[in-house]
Amino acid sequence: MTQLTFTTERSSNLVSDIEREQILSDPGFGTTFTDHMVTATWTAEHGWHDAVVREFGPLQLSPAAAVLHYAQEIFEGMKAYRHEDGSVWTFRPEANAARMARSARRLALPELSEEDFIASLTALVQADEKWVPAYGTGETSLYLRPFMFASEAFLGVRPAREVTYSVIASPAGAYFKGGLKPVSLWVSQDYARAGDGGTGAAKCGGNYASSMAGQIEGADHGCDQAVFLDSATHTYIEELGGMNLFFVMKDGRLRTPALTGSILEGITRDSILTLAKDLDLEPVQERIEIQEWKDGVVSGEITEIFACGTAAVVTPVGELRWDGGSAPSGSPEGGGEVTRAIRSTLLDIQYGRATDTRGWMTRLV
Ligand code: PLP
Ligand code: COI
């Protein structure tokens, strides 16, 4: 695999200290971006080259670029966390590198080595270190968005022979404004997010485009998010548009839908399955019917439900609604005890407040 060297060309057009501090005091999610970005190019002829950290700004793209027509694109989502001693760390980047490589294979894009992937994050966060929010400012971090797309100007349908890799960074607060207020979910019965043999297990833009009609339908019914079912039988729970799901059972099991090929293999999901044993929970991955949810929150068999992902960490799930009915909240107001314990266990590792016994953290600065 290639070993890229990321050359840094420092921007001469930096956001002022005052303006940056103002942004960092209330960053929201995904609306403001740092001073720099990473770009690298791959061609079938020369492989990966021209890896550079440069001023954040518009990309030059032909209107014939294949990504705009055939959606040959993948991305990742991760965060850089400031620790109390000022150092900056990220969580399980090897897992994101491996997932991006799997996504690349599914979308017929070139792979980037784990070393090059982590080097790209390190180079960007070192250039934009001042954009990582201070320790102790709540759930704030620098969200990192690596992505790769077909930049070749060609309208024939085949894997692009020119591809661009980029990383941008965006200071982030809580993904959901309501804090630990349970999110209400709409059961999307007509729209599936992904299907058997499709791209559901890859982190590609197309999956998010296909989730939006269900999301709109949910919003029209007063719900915060949509939950997607399997496309074949519309019976089994899969995941949300951007998060995996967990069910805390009265008997101490912590259940999550098994990976079927159409669910994204979340790194938060995997970490929670690992942490479960420390919290005396029995992790179970299996197919779960939507009817079990409806029945379980009524009978008390299900005591808590939460969604998880990098952006939203761990978020309690509230009421479930569908065409013709609803089920009571899967979580107490403010989230259940187990939900809050898992959330703080994870955040304590990420912010360096707990010992990282599993080697999950990688220092960037
Ligand atoms: N499922 C989908 C569809 C997602 O977009 C995400 C977010 O990345 C997740 C699950 C959670 O994955 P992770 O925990 O790796 O962020
Ligand atoms: C993430 O959690 O990082 C995601 O990618 C979810 C969403 C913002 C797409």
> Are 24 and 142 spatial neighbours (Cβ–Cβ below 8 Å)?
no
Rounded distance between C-alpha atoms, residue 82 and residue 102, angstroms: 29
**What ligand 2 atom has the least distance to the C-alpha of 29?**
8
If one residue of 243, 267, 314, 350 were mutated to test the ligand 2 pocket, choosing by the most ligand atoms within 8 A of its CB, it would be: 243
> What was the pLDDT predicted at 83?
98
How high is the pLDDT of residue 1? 62
Ligand 2 pocket check: which of 90, 139, 310, 346 to mutate, most ligand atoms within 8 Å of Cβ?
Answer: 310
Cα–Cα distance measured from residue 283 to residue 302, given in angstroms and rounded to the nearest whole number? 14
What residues does ligand 2 touch, defined as CB less than 6 Å away? 77, 242, 309-311
In the CATH scheme, what architecture does the domain 183-350 have?
A: Alpha-Beta Barrel (3.20)
| Residue ranges per structural domain of the chain | 7-172, 183-350
What CATH number is given for 7-172 in this structure?
3.30.470.10
Mean pLDDT per 10-residue interval, the chain, length 365 residues: 90 98 95 98 98 98 98 98 98 98 98 98 98 93 98 98 98 86 95 95 98 97 97 97 98 97 98 97 98 98 98 96 96 95 97 98 98
The number of the ligand 2 atom at minimal distance from the alpha carbon of 77 is: 3
CA distance 167 to 169: 7
**Contact partners, residue 221, CB within 8 Å, separation at least 6:** 186, 321
Question: What pLDDT is attached to residue 138?
Answer: 84
pLDDT at 208: 98
Q: How far is CA 190 from CA 32, 140, 174, 334, in A?
A: 35, 36, 30, 31
What lies within 8 Å, CB to CB, of 303 at 6+ separation is 248, 249, 250, 336, 338
Using CA atoms, how far apart are residues 301 and 319, in angstroms rounded to an integer?
Answer: 16
